[in-house]
Amino acid sequence: MAMIEALNRISDTIWEIPVSYKQGMRVPARIYGTEKLIQELDDAVYEQITNVATLPGITKYALCMPDGHFGYGFPIGGVAAMDVEQGGVISPGGIGFDINCGMRLVVTNLTYDEVKPYVKKLVDRLYERVPAGVGSTGFVKISRNEFRKVVEEGAQWCIRNDYGWEEDLEMMEENGCIKGADSSKISEKAIDRGFNQIGTLGSGNHYLEIQVARPENIFDQELAKSLGITIPNQVVVMFHCGSRGFGHQVATDYLQIFLKVMESKYGIKILDRELACAPFDSPEGQDYFAAMKCGINMSFANRQVILHRIREVFSEILGRSPEDLGMHMVYDVAHNTAKLESHVVDGKERSLLVHRKGATRAFAPGMEDVPERYKNIGQPVIIGGSMETGSYLLVGVASGEQTFFSTAHGSGRTMSRTKARKIYRGDKLQKEMESRGIYVRSTSYSGLAEEAGGAYKDIDDVIEAAELAGISKRIARLTPIGNIKG
């Protein structure tokens, strides 16, 4: 509570910690959220976001999104833009270990009534075809050398190898392949951990979900139609996963490198070793940037192969081709990235390295990297809730400039996994969800317990805060009917 009193209330949804709060802060820290969300916030988030505000080159504010919670180095939900011409740094703690953990949304032309009889079959078959859990391996068998191509080419490698449709690429951030990935900058250990994991969900909060867009949950009919939500009670598929052990190893490798050179070579002192960093334009900073891009591309490829499997399963169970089922992508958004972007700050255009740790890019209508199909409406934003509640489809807005066009990425945890396991029982939860019309498969009951809805903030509160703050606009709420949990 004492920490809340230190906050300056800028608006109903923006709260600021001034530079006077902590020695070394270069910019104020801003936290987004309604009063309810701020009251619930873990004190460690304040500590972390004000530490971020001390990093060299940070511009304007250290930002925390409405789903913010304690993370490694940065809070999850942390956003920081570093001016690369003013000594700005790159920090793995500001990107995350699961590089380009992200969301993908696919529509169908099916209604809930048409799919309802097949939900269990679909979920069971998807559970077989999309491996989940710690250490799971995929069906794409490639050599270590071929994997190097995958991490440099991303989803483009998948399309070339018949894992998807050409049109899919346009519906991905970076068209599914971020330029500048260099596999010579990644370790053999990272390759060992990643080359057999393409097409796998992983564990933790990763999931694959069959959902319904119910008429009462459409907030803008016209924009929903433009995004592919065109019929009442339409069935869609959403999934959330990242770069698996590969991304984790890339982050681990470079954290060690940065800890060795940060102070001795570059004279950078930090308040928390989890914020280990290097100047962006240093050899170490550039090597990590190129390696981190490999993590981004691995993740795009991973989600592309998963989509290929989803289309196969729907086609097999429903007896129609994926094309006939209208299984088109809405979009694929990344979390856990650092990207070079041009932003106007104090009236001047500046080249900034925008770290988004558990935050989603949310570009406004007309911006350069928004797909042609969405130019007039803004970049689609996909925000996943807990498996019990629902998820959201939103779009970026012009007023998002205040957060370097970034928004929330999920509900945000309110309790640790350990605490959730003590409070919830996975087997009981599974039965309760089924009684509410959500059929769930998981690799373990303990993993299911960790992901109970009560372990997360209320997704509706998070989305309301994001919309009220003017950092994204909600279009539709999507409710689960079938779920596969990592």
C-alpha–C-alpha distance, residues 354 and 280, integer Å = 12
Strand partners, 234: 111, 213
Cβ–Cβ < 8 Å for 299, 242: yes
Cβ–Cβ < 8 Å for 155, 199: no
Lookup: tokens for 391? 């998820």
Lookup: tokens for 396? 């970026």
Q: Which of 248, 308, 335, 409 is an active site residue?
A: 409
Kindly list the distances between the CA atom of residue 59 and the CA atoms of 56, 142, 352, in Å, as whole numbers in the listed order.
Answer: 9, 42, 8
C-alpha–C-alpha distance, residues 272 and 269, integer Å = 9
Residue 435 main-chain phi, psi, to 5 deg: -65, -20
144-153 and 283-318 are packed helices; what angle lies between their axes, rounded to 10 degrees? 100
C-alpha–C-alpha distance, residues 418 and 214, integer Å = 34
Strand partners, 473: 395
C-alpha–C-alpha distance, residues 112 and 48, integer Å = 43
Q: How do the residues of the chain divide into helix, strand and coil, expressed in percent and rounded to 5? A: 40, 25, 35
**Residue with token string 């989890």:** 274
Residue 206 known to be catalytic:
no
Pairing of strands 380-383, 360-361: unpaired
C-alpha–C-alpha distance, residues 378 and 297, integer Å = 23
User: How crowded is residue 187: how many other Cβ atoms within 10 Å of its Cβ?
Assistant: 14
The alpha-carbon radius of gyration of the chain (Å, integer) is 21
Residues with catalytic function? 409
